[in-house]
Chains A and B, each alone.
Chain A
Amino acid sequence: MNPTIVYVGVALYTLVCFAIGLWGFRQSKRPTMEDFFLGGRSLGLFFVLCATWSTLFSAFSYIGLPGAYYRSGISFFGISGNIVLNAACMYFIGSRMWAVGKKFGFINATDLFAERYRSNAVCIIAMIISVASLLPYLGLQIRGAGLTLQGVTKGMISFETGLTYITLVVLLYVVLGGFRSVIYNDVVQAVIMLVGMLGATYVIVEKVGGGFGGVIAKAAAINPALTQFPGPAGVWSPMMVLTTCMVIGMGGFAWPQISQRMYATRSLKTVKTLAVIFPISALFVNIPPVFIGLAGRIQYPDLKNADLIFPMMMNDLLSPTMAVIILLAILAAIMSTVSGMILSISSILVRDLWIRFFDPEGATASRMSTVSRVVTVIVVAGSLAFVFWGPQTLVGLLIEASGPIMLQVLVVLAGGLYWKRASKAGAIVSMLASEAFLVLLWTKAIVMPVTGIHNGVWAMILGVVLFFVVSLLTKPAPDEVIRKFFDLYDQEPAAAK
């Protein structure tokens, strides 16, 4: 890569991020916490689609996915099915979150828990789980950003410089304009990601296989299992595909940075349309890495570290200008994911910790806006510190289990919105027991007799059973709470009531 083109490209991109951050700041009409974290609940379809898209697809789509296809062939494409389960959650759970968010002014899923279950304990447990699952993941994303930049520029940008650069740029535009800056940047980042992914795929596929069909034919000639399920290693059996899709898709929806988008949307129609359009648009990100990974298998058949496949092809097959566009696309993917996470963790800490326990009466709009910004800075510092200096076994476990961990919270979220009998005791026991069971499965203290099912789904099954049994055995929420929540979903039109 030509250093001048790299530095000019990165500098221009940084300026665009700042300019958008400033624009977001100027768009904020009121200095309120709701405005800082949800942009005044006015998100239209185009913005929410770009934001969800660019937040959900991280650098993994560029680095991890091609590497996975290099190893597993097209069998890894089975995991793309997680997107339709994510979309189903958007419609079935997200629509109801939108409605209660409008009615009660919720900012996080954890707010909803406190009100629906009339329990600070449910709220705090969900908060701890959410933050514990996201904080190390956030730190890893930032750390990964430094490593990725160092790798794709062949050391031109050092690890420390890359890490510091990404952290500062994201932090500045998030602190400046909050949600609006994040969303406007997400739109630009989504466009760069899409152009970069499609452009790079076309060039690589043409050069390596003479076309998309050529890549498939050449890969099948190397090893027919590369174009079949369960793949060369025989991992992707039907049950493994389905349960992994459930963990990634449904657990992914429960991530605060995704579920929070449901509160931010302008209308119910937007949530519905998002649920329908999102899986279709996701194919543009899910299909290209298949061909990049297989092209890599043809080009470099005996690579030990498959995750290097995309950076290697960038340097060897793409023009310098195209390589810089891909570099920016990877930066965009990292930044959009990181910014969404930062904002969500901050909102949980401000709303559920600061206001609920330290400042319930005296919180003024402008003071909360300032507190939100200060907490945002602390969150970034904390996540970095945790990943660099935290106990490595715990950090590794939390990062690997982030989706499965949140899947257990989804049980309580969906149950609270659909089942009147759901009780706070049921919610508490379900979350604590299923998370503890998940840790036991992960550390292999317990080994299930049936193999080929994801650990997260085993834990979820236990969580669902306990949620129902304990709820039926204990007192439900008071009638007034049930009425406030469930009257919304009566079948009669409002005028007839």
Chain B
Amino acid sequence: MGKGLKLVVLIIYVLLLIGLSCPWQKVGEPLYLGFLPAPMFYLIMVQLGFVAVLGFVAFFTRFHGRVEDEEDFLRSLKKEVKP
């Protein structure tokens, strides 16, 4: 994961954190899907946004480096135990 991508992800996370703080005070309408008040709907959308970014970092980047090659990593541990 390059520095540029890390910065973009960080900015998105900060924006999502602002969304997570529920800035939509005093908003009561509309009712989404016929039963979800607007603030709840927006908050669920923000939470799904978090999940999407987390999923991208987890499955499409090598955030944890060498450990990401899981089989190689586990094989290297066995070698350490039994040289």
Residues on A lying within 8 angstroms of B by beta carbon are 74-75, 77-78, 80-81, 83-85, 87-88, 91-92, 95-96, 99, 102-103, 211-213, 215-217, 220, 224, 227-230, 236-239, 241-242, 245, 267-269, 272, 275-276, 279-280, 283, 287, 290, 487-495, 497
Question: Provided the pairs A84-B20, A103-B77, A227-B28 are in contact, do residues A488 and B66 lie with their beta carbons within 8 angstroms?
Answer: yes
The answer on a CB contact under 8 Å between A99 and B67 is yes
Residue from the set B21, B39, B62 with the largest chain A CB neighbour count within 10 Å: B21
Measured in the bound complex, the distance between the Cα atoms of B32 and A119 in whole Å is 54
Question: Provided the pairs A228-B25, A272-B58, A275-B54 are in contact, do residues A77 and B31 lie with their beta carbons within 8 angstroms?
Answer: no
- Kindly state whether residue B22 has any CB partner on chain A within 8 Å: yes
The answer on a CB contact under 8 Å between B66 and A78 is no
Question: Provided the pairs A228-B28, A242-B17 are in contact, do residues A494 and B66 lie with their beta carbons within 8 angstroms?
Answer: yes
Some 8 contacts from A to B, beta carbons below 8 A apart, are A88-B54, A96-B67, A102-B74, A211-B35, A238-B25, A241-B21, A488-B67, A494-B73
Measured in the bound complex, the distance between the Cα atoms of B66 and A194 in whole Å is 38
Interface residues in B11-62 by Cβ distance below 8 A to A read 17, 20-28, 31, 34-35, 37, 39-40, 43-44, 46-48, 50-51, 54-55, 57-59, 62
Measured in the bound complex, the distance between the Cα atoms of B75 and A108 in whole Å is 23
Measured in the bound complex, the distance between the Cα atoms of B25 and A77 in whole Å is 13
The answer on a CB contact under 8 Å between B70 and A268 is yes
Q: Which of A78, A83, A99, A237 contacts B64 (CB 8 A)?
A: A99
Q: Which of A77, A211, A268 contacts B67 (CB 8 A)?
A: A268
Question: Provided the pairs A91-B54, A238-B21, A242-B21 are in contact, do residues A224 and B67 lie with their beta carbons within 8 angstroms?
Answer: no
Interface residues on B, range: 35 or more
A81 surroundings in chain B (CB, below 8 A): 20, 22, 43, 46-47
B70 surroundings in chain A (CB, below 8 A): 267-269
A78 surroundings in chain B (CB, below 8 A): 21-22, 43
Measured in the bound complex, the distance between the Cα atoms of B77 and A267 in whole Å is 14
Measured in the bound complex, the distance between the Cα atoms of B75 and A426 in whole Å is 34
The answer on a CB contact under 8 Å between B54 and A87 is yes
Q: What's the least CB distance linking A285 to chain B, in Å?
A: 13
- Kindly state whether residue B4 has any CB partner on chain A within 8 Å: no
Q: What's the least CB distance linking A4 to chain B, in Å?
A: 37
Measured in the bound complex, the distance between the Cα atoms of B71 and A269 in whole Å is 11
